[in-house]
Structure 1
């Protein structure tokens, strides 16, 4: 009943013009009389530096290998990406090559929209050689996609700031908080720091959820466990959020920054530490030389490394058998070592393939070794048991945690109790 209702709501509320266009385009381009097959491939990465070069090379090679097959790679803005895909799938005009932010996997697979891949995967060594985060693309023992990127979060730091203060890079929570305090500087005495020990984002979007949850998971807490919300109000989760709150209360981080602003502050030398994913490395490459040489990366100084599936490739269940075979061939191609090495070269992120990473790759990207280590240890930050309700669940977290880190700073324990009650009442379990 839930699946049927959701489909009706989506079909009624989303823009049908796009679906209609997609249907016409699909029928026209894959008319067997033309002899040419066109595989639609929307992505939010199609024009993103690094990713764009990777995908364009992959498309060119696939078309070279397959005469009379074309891939229509095109950009869809990230903010509207999931809605666009949902519209196309609900209208039964899915893009043949389906690329998704993996945190939305459970929502899509719950609708029965993806083809199971176990029989195909058994004929390869992908699972054997792939990141453990690939298991997040399973439902009842069946894989419904192939992970393209899974990452841990790392700690970026400005070595010059630590050297000047005469302190070591932190390796545990106590030394982290001491460093955040020591490296925050009000240089002109106006009461507002010009240099910050740590950088956090504070805008109500997914990045805020990711960052707050990195503290919770990194320090041993959880929002949920298989749908049980007891961990949300545990002492461990409370203490993690009190520590996170203290960064704002003590002005160890600026307030009101988007994640993009946070990253920019760091590469400009205005922050000593940030927690973030491997994509920040490309920003460091563009930093001023006097700053760039001091920007390094290490493991987050907590007991666990937080991380998550990032993005993945899937085959729609309703496309033709011929199209399914072609899409699977494309997925297999991009899992080949040469393409995984190209991915690391162009994107600067770790490959999920354990066999693609070698000394040559690591020499070309000095940060990559750290990213690989962190990805291998990563503990998932998605809410366990609430993956299908990811959007609604995370919004409750975002709204609640935001009150904790905004003056007058809501009480952590009381707020967590309220969040737990709201989620239970609205989402059940």
Structure 2
């Protein structure tokens, strides 16, 4: 999951308006010519998209009967734009869909069930937990393309300079390490995020979540959640701990500081590996440390399972669906996933794509080790939307504009409206 990539130029909206004509509206194809399908790729336009564009060309060269209208859609806009486009029967034939979007779009009938189609003919090659993430009410609505989770990424040289030989295993250890780094290396030891997705690690460390889906209960203001967010809040003040950045460009600020050696550790995902390597601090790739996120008071550590599937629009006509399914199978093949991993340093979703060359990338190898701590998200259609209220309240709390109790109370009320059949 790629989070916090901010705002997009107005031209992107115009481009989408012109290209959101997939599905049965792609009717300009001649009966004796190739079928043209539209693919909305939600990857980073600078770091990841070139690899996907190259694969599109490979696919077209090998499949003369299909043309792909490639459109890069900013991740932070894609969910709403697809929802709008599908609602007006003008969605793209294929969507690179964040794993958390599956339940909502499947419930609305926007995604095509893939059982028995060519898109899933290699199903046994994929990691079973990732196939489960692509399901809703027993049916599979996407083919896993890349997977990810969050980890504590750190600058080994700065830790060594402070006399620290291993990554912290608890948040208290992280605080102690940050103080040492500040004193000896003269840089911040840790810089936290105010985004709800990143704060999930604290909830999992206390054995809770924003909601308990099985009990149909809102738990964001429970005692366990208060403890989790209290720990999160405490990491914005103290020696070696950077204060909260509540600006619109916070994500970029944190990232820039880390890659240039101005802060020793942050919580981040593998989608930023290629950016890490571009920074002055990680010209030597081996200086990048990757560890499981620190554990909470339960003694357990956890981070959300993220990643992206390729899903096919149910509103496309049969010819476009057939072409889309062929395209999805190609893009999620072992060969394609290996190429994506080598170029983008992202994690494949099938075991046969983890070649020796792929595993030689220290970033990929490092994130592989933290995958066991990744927590699956409940198959709740509203789940991804639950972070919205927290993305409003958490910056206020971290910035001192609102108390923790008030902020969580506000979030609880807002979340309760999103899941009206849940109790508080």
TM-score by length of structure 2 reads 0.84
1:215 maps to 202
CA positional deviation for 1:385: 6.2
Matched, 1:39 2:37: yes
Tell me what 1:285 maps to: 277
SS in 2 for 1:148: strand
SS of the equivalent of 2:337 reads helix
In 1: Cα distance, 2:265 partner to 2:230 partner: 19
Match of 1:405 among 371, 386, 398: 398
Deviation of residue 123 (structure 1)?
Answer: 6.5
Q: Distance in 2 between matches of 1:219 and 1:269?
A: 31
What is the CA–CA distance in structure 1 between the aligned matches of 2:231 and 2:398, rounded to whole Å? Answer: 10
Identify which of 71, 75, 80 aligns with 1:83.
Answer: 80
User: Is the CA contact (8 Å cut-off) linking 1:231 and 1:237 kept in structure 2?
Assistant: yes
Larger Rg: 1
State the 1:219 CA deviation.
4.0
Partner of 1:174: helix, strand, or coil?
helix
Q: Deviations over 1:26-57 (max 9, x none)?
A: 4453232x5221111122337332x2232123
Question: What is the number of equivalent residue pairs in this alignment?
Answer: 398
Q: CA RMSD in A?
A: 3.0
- Flag the structure with higher helix content: 1
Matching residue within 243, 253, 256 for 1:254: 243
Aligned to 1:231: 219
**Residue 183 of structure 1: which of 165, 181, 184 is its match?**
181
TM-score by length of 1: 0.83
Q: Distance in 2 between matches of 1:195 and 1:313?
A: 41
- Change beyond 3 A, Cα 1:259–1:388: same
Distance 1:290 1:345 in 2: 17
Partner residue in 2 for 1:271? 263
> Which residue in the other structure is 2:374 paired with?
378
Moved more, 118-127 or 77-86: 118-127
Structure 1 residues 409 and 123, CA gap change in structure 2 (3 angstroms)? closer
Structure 1 stretches lacking a partner, 5+ long: 1-13, 188-193, 203-207
Judged with a 3 Å threshold, the aligned counterparts in structure 2 of structure 1 residues 289 and 238 are, in CA distance, closer, same or farther, namely: closer
Which residue of structure 2 lines up, in the alignment, with residue 9 of structure 1? none
From the superposition, tell whether residues 210 and 122 of structure 1 become closer, same or farther in structure 2 (CA, over 3 Å): closer
Deviations along 1:277-303, whole A, 9 cap, x unmatched?
Answer: 012221221122687553322222222
- For the 8 Å contact 1:19–1:88, the answer to whether it is kept is no
> Are the aligned partners of 1:114 and 1:317 in contact in 2 as well (CA < 8 Å)?
yes
Instruction: Specify every segment of 5 or more residues in structure 2 that has no aligned partner in the other structure, as ranges.
Output: 1-12
Q: What's the secondary structure of 2:161's corresponding residue?
A: helix
Q: For the residues of structure 2 that align with 1:68 and 1:210, how far apart are their CA atoms? A: 41
Residues 123/79 of structure 1: CA separation in 2 closer, same or farther (3 Å cut): closer
Find runs of 4+ consecutive structure 1 residues off by over 6 angstroms. none
User: Who is 2:294 aligned against?
Assistant: 301
Three-state SS of the structure 1 residue aligned to 2:85 is helix
How far 1:307 sits from its partner (Å)? 2.4
When residues 350 and 131 of structure 1 are mapped into structure 2, their CA distance, relative to the original with a 3 A threshold, is farther
Question: What's the CA shift for 1:269?
Answer: 0.9
Q: Match of 1:311, SS? A: strand
1:63-105 Cα deviation digits (max 9, x unpaired): 1222232111122333432333233212212211222233322
What is aligned with 2:171? 173
User: SS of the residue aligned with 2:411?
Assistant: helix
Alignment-derived partner of residue 50 in structure 2: 53
Match of 1:395 in 2: 388
CA deviations on 1:391-429 (whole Å, 9 max, x unpaired) are: 3x21212223233312255134x5434432343245412
SS at match of 1:119: coil
Distance in 1, Cα, partners of 2:24 & 2:334:
34
Q: How does 1:303-318 map to 2 (within 5 A)?
A: 303-318=300-315
What CA distance in whole angstroms lies between the structure 1 residues aligned with 2:282 and 2:267?
A: 22
Look up the match of 1:420.
412
Confirm whether residue 240 of structure 1 aligns to residue 228 of structure 2: yes
Query: Separation in 2 of the partners of 1:373 and 1:131?
Result: 18
Q: CA deviation at 1:386?
A: 4.8
Contact residue 349 and residue 371 of structure 1 kept, 8 A:
no
Q: 1:87-128 deviations in whole A, cap 9, x for unaligned? A: 321221221122223332222222101111122279623245
